[in-house]
Every structure is written in structure tokens, then in C-alpha cells.
Structure 1
Amino acid sequence: MISLRFRIIASTLFIMFLIITGSYLVIQDIQAGIIEGEFRDKGFLLANNLASEITNPVLVNDIMGIRNSVDALRKNYPDIEYIYVADSQGIILVNTFEGGFPKALQNMSKPSNETKEYVFDTEKGIIHEFSVPVFKNIGYVHIGVSENRVRSQILDASRKLLLLSLSAMFLGGLFIYFIGRWLTGPILELTEGANRINNGILDQKIQISSRDELGDLARTFNEMASRLNQKITDLVASKEQVETAQKYLETLFDSIEDGIIVINMDHEIIRTNKSFLKMIGMSEGEVLGKTCHDLIFKNVATWQEKKECPVNRLLETRTPIRIVHETYSDGTKKILELNASFFSDKKDLINIILVSRDITQQKMLEEELVARNRELTIINEISKNISDTFDLDKLLSQTLENLLSLTGMQSAGAYILDESNGSFDLRIHTGRRGDTDEKIFPHIINSNEKDAGFLSVHIPLKSKDKVLGIIRLCNSEPRIFSSKYHELFSAIGNQIGVAIENISFYNNIKYLKEFNEEILNNVNLAIHVIDKDMKILTINNELLNLSRGMFKKEQIQNMNLFEAFPVLKAKRVDMEYEHVFKTGEIFMSEEKMEYYGEFIFTSTAKIPLKDKNGNVERIITVIKDVSSQKKLEEELKDSYDELKLTYMKLKELFQMKDSFLSNISHELRTPLTSIMGYTELMLDENITEGQRQKLETILRNSKRLSMLINRLLDSTLIESSNLQLDMQMLSIYDIAVLAAEDMRSMSSIKDIPVSIEIPPSLTVEGDRDRLTQVFSYILDNAIKFTIKGEIKITAEEEKNYAHIKISDTGIGIPADKLESIFDKFYHLESSGARKYGGTGLSLWVSKNIVEAHGGKIWAESKNTGSTFHILLPERRMNERGRSK
């Protein structure tokens, strides 16, 4: 419903709005007309003034004067967009257009004797052109003025007028609002007071103090409200006390954690709290009307049992009861603590209040604590056994007994890994023997199986994921273990696994300790260990022997080193130990000292032992008695002097031998040369075939003897390092041909052809005679050891080397002799006798000549036939890498 105040204020405001709006529109129209008239008058005034000013310049055709007047006018009035002046014929004299005179204005420039105004709508806005004639129509002035500024003035005036109208409307509205409030205020106050009384708000008075009829009516309402307020206050106070007590009891009833139900004499539930509904998982509608036998005492089935239920006992004895009762809700077992007592209401109706508390978790925790306590006791005992003993059998036996006590199983066996075959062998057994296997295998680890009528549980004994053994628990009836038991078994298995590894490690350390002590005491070295305080920690038997029986082992241990051996202090050995402690480096020394009346020689090594931070903690001193060695060295020195003297004598004899061989060779070569020369001359004579054969035999043997002498001379040169080479670029092909020619007579006699397959362009740097000598020696051997077949000489270039191969089809060379054939005076023997003859120098000389050229020679042989490889550089390199 619209209030009286609103209707008065709204109607008055509407009338005022119409008046102010009409006034605004009328005034705006008048003001716009005035501004536009002034704009038009100003435009014609500017045009007439310019026409008067340029009359003389137009008459004398002074274009510059006209231009100056036009520019001055435009500069003084920025609203002027353009100006142009035409003569009486309409020809443009002056214009202000920068881009040329617009075509749209050409018609406007034609002569006209009238003063006119034109309006154009352009991109720059609306432009008014004012056209006036110049003195008796001798010319015409056209001025274009922009309307933008005028429009801006009109818009600005409209805004000011609008602001003034709105201000007037706002002030008028305020005036009307306050007048309306003043007129309708008492009526509204009286209406609100009546509504408050109607709504029960009686403590607020109607604030009207006028002396008129409205004031009398307000005072009457105030008195009536005061009397009603007093009566209602008394009633509310009584009601609040009752509601507070009831709310407190209901809050306590619903918020208590224990479930509470109220049961009548027929065992029916007539009221319950939220905790009980939550406890049994049902709604209030499902619970009310049911008996306690339906929800709590479900195991009371027969009528006789129902008569003996706890509620009946309460009704009979009239004494509060307290019991612990097991029940099931949705298949879940619950343990409830029940307290029941009588309750009589104001109508003397007897009801029973039954308070139930769910102690299932508490009971489970109690049982869990008992089980955990038992498990911890078992683990404690196992841990104690692990720490107390290094006897594996004792540890396993006690562990099996503890596990049987914990699980109630009937038998147990401990199996230890046999790493040789991967099986687990029975080590300890407790309980019934029929449940035991002698061996079990890894695939049953962590499996529970029903075998031969009883359940087996296998616990792996692990250390670092390696299974070292298995504990097997057996029972005649199946047993199910919870996940906590599995965790417990795993923890026990890991503990025992680590213990097995520790026992094994302990036994190994014990064995190593005994082994090391045995080695230490039987080694032929004196050893002792000292700490930073120079205290002797360990010694061996050899040190006692070195001390010549002056100490016993028990006496010298823990003594200061320099107190036990004062001679070391005198020899400044303490400085050596300080050096080792400081640098962490091994210190080696040899000493000669008087040791308890005897001079001995010792070789000593001081070896640092460092901790994990690299600091030297101890020093191992290893002492070797080298007295006998020193004596032997002195004897060896005397023997060396004798050998040196003998060597010098042998060297002189060797030089005499070389000189003799050299002289005798030269002496033999002279007559041999004569013999070979005369023999060749005689072969050219007319002689009989028998004489020719004899002469050829003489020549052939003379040549062989000459070759033998040359080899002896070469060996002498090589051994004396006097082998000289005449280096030049040589064709391998030419050298091979030359060597083959030398051996032609021998190859012809045995009918063994020699083939040469060498590129003529293949060259090396070398000594022609020496390389020919090498080829001849190898061909000589090839012909000698080849009974039937052929000899082939090939060569090719390989990475700046010439690779020559001389192959035959002879008897071959054993694999174990391929390197020995290049030794001096070496012969291949057959049947224990020299069958093929020779000095054994040719291959040795060849090897030295090839190596003198910077090359390499070797032989290959497979069953039959041999191949000699010669590798020669194409250009010989000196020590700096340049060709010689």
C-alpha cells in the first residue's frame, strides 16, 4: 500500500518537473536564436569591412594589397575557414585555398549584385559563406565562416541552462520532501505506534506531543501499551524459566555420547537420543515402538529367557543394574556397557532409563594392547638373544620356541640357505618331527599351504633383500593370521636374517683375525704397530726374534717404542715417525746399528693407517733383517770385480777375433778373385765337356766361398756398428732382377723358375748393393730348401712403404721357428743333422741390413712353402723426420 506521505511528495514533484522542463525548452530556443543572429551579423560585417578595405586595390588591380588584407583578416579571426575575392567578371583574384580553388565553389564566384548567405555541410562541419559586392560591383568578397564555434557556444549555454534547471529541481524536491514529512509525520508516527502494539512491542511510546486530536489519541495508545507490557512481561518470565530447563535437559539428552532409551513396562522403547540411533545405525521412526529384545538383547530368544533378561531382573529387584552385553548390528559385533534404573513421571507412570555405552573399540584396544605387549615381549626376547649370542643354533632354537609360544603352532623348523645348490637345509627343529622336511626350496617362501593335513607358514629370514634362511611353522588345524601378524613375522625374519649375516660376518672376522695372526707370526718380517703416543699396540714373533730374546710379547706390548728400543731415539727415528704422521706418506729407510751388542742391517718401511677423514691414526712398521743379504752383496761385489776383469780380457780376445776374421777374409778374397777370373776365362776357351763341368764346379764353389767370406765380413761390420749405406733412389724391380740373375745358375741346376711381378715405378731409397745382397740371400735359401716348384717375387705400395714378398714352395718353416731363423748362426735342422748346410748368417745379416734402412723383415709359413716379407720405406727418414 502506497503511503500518504509518498503520494503528496510524488504529485508535487511531478508538477514542479513539468514547469521546469517547459521553461528550459523555451529559454534554450530563445538563446539559440540570439546566438545565431549574432553569428550572421558578424559574418556580413566582416565581409563588408573587407570589401571596403580592398576597394582601392581592386580598382588598381593591386593583387598584393588584396592578399595582405585577406591574410590580416584571416589571422585576426580564426573561425574564418576561407576567403576568396573575384572581379566583376567572376575571375578569382585572391583565395586562401592551399590545394587549389574547389570546383564546388566555382558557380558561387560568378558575379552577383546581391548580398547573400550560403550554407555548406563539409567534412569540417557546417560553413556559412557570406558574399558581398565591392564598390559598385567592381568585385566580390566571399568569406566562409565555420559554425563549430557558434554551435559550441549554443551547446555550452544549453548545458549551463540544464544545470541550472536540475539545481532548481533538486532544491524544489528537497523543499517538497521536508514539507511532506512535516505534514505527514504525526500521522505516520501514530500508525507505527498502533502497529507496534498490534505486534506486541509495548515498551516504545508514540512520540506525538501536539495539543490537537492526534496528540490525545497518541497518549491513549501509550497508556494502553504500558499496561499490556507489564502483564506480558510476567508471563514471558515464567515461560522462559520452563523453556530453559527443558532445553537444558533436551540438549544434555541429545549431546551425551552414551546412547539413552526410555522403556515402558512392556519393554517398548518410547524415547531415544541421537547417540543411540547412531550407535545402532537406525532412524528414530524405526526404533520407537520396538522392544529392547528386538534391538539390544537379540540373543534372548525364548520366553523363559526373556523373563530372565536384565530388564526383568530390574523390574523384580527394583535395583539399578550394570552389565556388559554383546550384540550384533548389521553383522558387526558390538560390545555394550548397559546401565538401567527406574524413572517415575508426575503421573506416577514407571519407565526404565537404559544407558548404553559402546565399548567395542575399548575392548579391541585392550585385546590389541595385550597382543602387542606379548609380541613386544617376544621381539624383546629375540632381540636380546641376538645381542647376547653369536651361536647360530642357540639363537634359532630360542627363536623357534618364542614363535611357537606366540602363535600357538605345534612345530617349527629353521632352514639355512645352502648356496651350493640353492636349497634350504634343516638346521634346528622344535615340536612334532612328522612336520619336518630335510630340505625346502625358494619357491615356497611367503606361501601358506595346507600340506599333509596341517597348515604351514613360512617366514623368510632376509638381509638386504637376500633370503638367508626360512622358519617354517606348522599346525594340524588351519590357522589364519592377520596382516599385523604378517608384519610381525616379516620384522622377526628381517631381525634373524641380519643376525645370521652378523654371525657369519663375526665368524669370518674371527677366522681372518686368527689367519692374520698366523701369517703375522710366521712371516719373515718383524712387524709392530704404534699409535700417536708411540705406544706399541701389536707385535709379531719375528720382532721378538729380532730383539734377540730380550723381551717377551706380554712385556713389550703397550710400552713406549723408544723405551723398549732406546737405540731408535739415538738414531733420530722419531723424526721419521713425525714425518709419516704429518704427511701420511710411506717412509722407507735402511739402517746399520748396534743392536744389543751386535751390528745388524735392517730395511724398514713405515706405513700409515688413516681414518675415514684421512688423518693418520697408527703406523705399521715392517722391519726386515738384511744382515745376511748385505754380506751376500759384499761377496757379490767381489765376484763382480773378478767378472769385470774377465770381461775386459774377453773383449780384447773378441777384438782380436774380429781383426783376425777381417784379415783372413781379405787374404782369402784376393786369391779367390783370381781363381774366379781365370776360371771364367778358361770357360770361354775351346774345352771338352768334362773340362767345362769341372771348371763350372770350381767357379760355383768359389762363388759360394766368396759369399761366405762376405757374410763373415758383414757380420763383423754389423757387430762393430760400422755398416755404411750408400743411399739413393732405387727401383725394386731392378734389384729383384739383379738378384735373380746372380742366382740363375743355382735355379737352373734345380730347375726352379723365379718369377718377378713388381711395378717398375715402385722405388725406395736405399743402398743398391746391400738390398741386392738381401734379395740374393733370401733367393739362395729359397732355392736351397725348395725341391720342386717355383719362387715368386712380388711387391706393392702400402702407406709410403714398399712391401716385397718372396715366396717359395719348399719344405716350409715350423711355426715355433719363424722368429728364431733370424738369429745369428741359426740352422733349420732335419733328423738332428745339418742337411742343407750354410753358415746361418744370411738371414741375420739380411735382417740387420733391412733394419738399417728403417724397414722390417719377417717370415710366414703354413705347412709347405714359405713367404719372406720385406717392408722398406719409400724415403728413409732421419731422427728429425726429414729424408737422409
Structure 2
Amino acid sequence: MKQRPQQVQRMIESRSIFGHGFLALIALLVIAALMSGSLRALVLVVLVLIIGFSLGLLLGRRRESVTGGETALDTPSSGLNSSHFSARFLDSALKEMREGLLVIDADMRVVASNRAARNLFSDLNDVIDSRRLTELTRNPAIYDAFLDAVRGKERTGVKVETYGQERRVFDLRVVPLRSTNGHGSGGAVGVFFDVTRLERLEIIRQEFLSNVSHELRTPLTSIRALAETLENGAIEDHQNNRRFLFIIQKNADRMHRLIDDILELSAIEAGNVKVKPEIIQLHPLVEDVIASLSASAVARKITVDDLVDRKAEVFADPHRLLQMLTNLVDNAIKFNREGGTVTIRHESDRADRIRVEDSGEGIPAHHLDRLFERFYRVDRARSRELGGTGLGLAIVKHLARAHGGEVIVESRFGEGSQFTIELPHNITMKATASATLNV
């Protein structure tokens, strides 16, 4: 093989060094962009990539002119045209971006966009390049942000809402582009960050804090008022002082249950509660639930029927299943008619289903979709009177899902309610456990 000219060899080495340096620059820019959250930094990364690949710094040209002649060089391009590769690379990168990228010129026409941006204007069948921005949207927030950027003003934190099949919220950030001669505007680059989920979580957080403060304030107000009454002389009122102390204790217990449920639910939602499913006998567990709630059932003259087969088995964490069933049966007793019935059944086909049925007043249909939300109550006054925290069903929902299952409610107003815990089978684990038990 003919040895390469020394000049060519030096060129290859220079290119290799420069290429590695360019890769290092890209890495540093990406890290800086992610750390700073700056749109300018993100745009700079894109521009450097465009320049770098266009010049062939990473892949090299297929041929180099050396000392007036053409000498073929072996490069990582493997015969691919670097410009063609650059275009494909950038197109692929833009397509995979979750954020919508929109580039307009000084005349407010779209000159470049990616798939995420085109999805924002889906009624246009993905054809948005070369169209004026006013043809794409009537949303004044979008138009004003790009117009300001074209005039040289960077815009960040612009809230954009879209209403299609579902409401979506975007944080739009737009920066101006200078013209090639450095004078005047060359257009603008805008990035749409989808913050729908973040906004939804923020709303949930605010509602949660509002509900917690309200739920704690109610018993605290009662405790404080009664304590002041006792302090002002009622402690000597032997006919009422014990009643006041009983109410204080009742409200303190309510706060304790509320705090316990909040901590429990927070731990479950954070994934800090690990379920440890195993093959368990269902009937003894149901009997334990009934025994623990017998005093409440007797007080309201409620009959609790256990129709679970004595040989029934389920694959679940025994402690967590006990917790779920206790919550459901407790509710079925509390919100039942005096002298009513509660029935517990088990079915097994594609999954194990444990049903808790009551003969109460039922739940109006418009409440069913929100029944498992935190602090949601059909009858707030009655729930507080009965000592409910408003978190029991939310805990049941999350524990069922932690098992890979679900909890379902069916109810008709005036005809009672039925709550079903649905748990998946684990055939392999069941077979293994049964074999172990039979040894």
C-alpha cells in the first residue's frame, strides 16, 4: 500500500484533534444549557451543530485537495456525503425533540419547524413552513411573543394554552435572530415547553394544601374555643366540663387520624411503601376485618355477611389488603342505613375480585368520577361527624394500584353501593407457593 504523503497525514491528525475538540465543545454547551435552562444556550447548541456538520468537521469530506492534486482520505463517513448526513442528522434530532421548535423570518413567515411544533397546529396537516404566523394561529400570546422577538426583545415565560381534544399548557420562550450583516432583525426562534403536567401537579398541590389547612383548622378551632371556655371558669362546671374535655379529645383524635392518613398517602404516592404480595387465605382476613369493626356495626344495627369461600386464595400483601378492606367495610357501615346490611364477596376468573356491597342510600352519579380524590366527600358534614378524614378511598386506590390492580365503584342513588378491589393473578407465584405449602 502506498504510504500517504506527510502533508495528508498531518491534515488527518489535525482534523482528528479538531473533531475531538469540537465534540468536547458540544458536550460543554449541552451541559451548560441544561444547567442554566437558558433558551439562548439551547439555540447556540443547535447553531454550533449546524455549523460543525455543514463544514464536515466531524465526518470530513470524502476527498481533500492536497498540493494541487486530489488525494482520497479514509474518514469515518464511510463514503457518505457529509452534507447529506448533516441534513439527516439535524432532521432526526429536531423530530425527536419533545419541545416544539419554530423559526420565523423578519416577515413573520415560518422558515423551519419540527414535528412537535407542527402538532400544535394539527388542523394544517403538518404543512406550516413558509406560511405566515397569522395563518397558523389566532392566539395573541404566541403572535405577540414572536413579534417582540423580531423587534429585538427576548420573551420568556409566555403562557400559551391550546384546546383540542384536551387542554394543554405551554411555556413559550422566544429569542431574536440577527440578520447576516449584523444589523436589523433576521427573525426569531421560539421553543414551546409542554408544562401541562407540571401545572396539573401544581393545582393538585395547592388544592391539597388548602384542604389540609381547612381540615386541621376545623378541629383546632373547636379545641381552642373549648380550652378558652374551660380556662374562663367552665372547669368548675361539673355538669359540662367532662363533656368539653370529651369533645377536645375527640377533635384531637380526628387530627391524629388525619395526620396519619396524610403521611400514609404521601409515602404511598412517593413509592416509599413497598407491597410484598404472597398467596394468602382470604376468608380469615375478612373475618379479622369484620371483628375489628363489630362494635361500629352493632351500634348502627348493621349486619355484615361474609360470603367468601373458606378456600379462597388471593395474591396480595396481607397487611395492605387488610387495610384496604377495613377502609371499605368501615365506610359501608358508616354510610349505611340503620339496620342495613354489608356483604363481602369474592370472585375469581381473569383476576381476583373482592366486593364490598352495602344497602345504603347510594351515591349520585356525578360524584362517582371524583370519589377517589383526596379529601373529596359526597356529604362533608356527615363525613366529619362520623370521623372520616376524606383520605381513606384515596389510600385504597393507591394501594390497589401498587398491587397492579384497581378499585372500582358502582352505585345508584337510593340503591346502595358496591366497591370492588381487583387484583391480578400471579400464576407462577401461586404454583410455587402451593407446592411449598404441600411439602
TM-score range, shorter chain: 0.3 to 0.5
Q: TM-score scaled to structure 1, two decimals?
A: 0.23
Q: TM-score scaled to structure 2, two decimals?
A: 0.44
Q: Which structure has the larger Rg?
A: 1
